[in-house]
A = this chain, B = another copy of it.
Amino acid sequence: MKVGIIGLGLIGGSLGLGLRSRGHYILGISRHQETCTLACDKGIADEASVDFSLIQDAEVVFICTPIGAILPTVEKLQPILSPNTILTDVGSVKSAVVNAVTPLWSNFIGGHPMAGTAEQGITAAKPDLFPGTRYVLTPTEHTPSQAQKTVTELVQSLETEVIICPPEAHDQAVAWISHLPVFVSSSLIAASLQETDPEVAQLAQKLASSGFRDTSRVGGGNPELGVMMAKYNKEAVLRSLQVYQEQLETIKQVIEAENWDVLEMMLGQTKGARSRYNMTR
């Protein structure tokens, strides 16, 4: 199958490596000629170009740009592609993308590969990024069944577990487990920085160990990514933050009231519940 990939970073590059090694013919698009050259050298793409016309005959096109570039990309593709071409994206929020793209390109299905590494860009692309990971697809009632079938088979061929759900359910779920943690964690760092006693502030920095390291990790991540989560998943993020604030207020009141038995019960519940989360990657 002729597969177009627009955006040859970690995800796009790894998709290229994986699909090409399974016999597909990969057409890569990047904004930068040097990335195109590298993509061909690394075996990510059979052909690569900065010119979108390269992919006019692709049967499926993966849009692997940052979220903000997905819609402009679809607009650029409209005059080039045949209506038979299936479009999919890899953005980490889905309602905003699906609602914006569907009116422009009906042969579309939203996707979100739950795979990543700390590194970014084409140099981080690797053939084994996907095996064993989950790949969410978010069809709506308007999604052509052939588009869902084709993209499902392609990403399953990369040994991913495909999860089908509505865009809104995806967005609320990732608000809980991916987006809320960023703001919870960032606020932890921000709060510690409010310490006004220099001796205490210095001690806190000196004594921080694995507990602070883990809890603050995602709050110390890429600011653009955090903004993207809030911007494109605003409603679900705000809903999660609201519920979180209520939980935190409850625990504060329990501590104020010295209800130690209740506090132990609450901490026991969260300890027990944590094991239900499937955190293999």
Contacts and interface: CB of A to CB of B under 8 A. Distances in A.
A67 to B, nearest CB: 13
Interface stretch (A40-48, A58-66, A259-267): A259-267
Contacts of A182: 211, 267
Interface stretch (A74-82, A139-147, A193-201): A193-201
Interface in A12-59: none
Interface string A204-218: 111111111111111
B190 A270 contact: yes
Interface in A138-168: 163, 165
A251 interface: yes
A274 B191 contact: no
Interface in A231-277: 231, 234, 237-238, 240-249, 251-252, 255-256, 258, 260, 263-271, 273-277
Interface residues of A, number: 95
A209 B252 contact: no
Contacts of A192: 176-177, 180
Contacts of A213: 277, 279
B227 A270 contact: no
Contact of A252 (B114, B195, B241, B281): B241
Given A182-B211, A208-B278, A215-B215, A172 B195 contact: yes
24 contacts: A114-B209, A163-B203, A176-B212, A177-B207, A177-B209, A178-B209, A181-B216, A184-B187, A184-B215, A184-B248, A185-B215, A187-B247, A191-B244, A193-B273, A194-B247, A208-B279, A210-B281, A221-B267, A223-B267, A226-B267, A227-B260, A230-B255, A231-B258, A242-B252
Given A178-B209, A211-B217, 15 more contacts: A169-B199, A172-B204, A177-B207, A177-B208, A186-B267, A187-B247, A190-B247, A191-B243, A206-B278, A209-B279, A219-B267, A219-B274, A226-B267, A227-B263, A245-B248
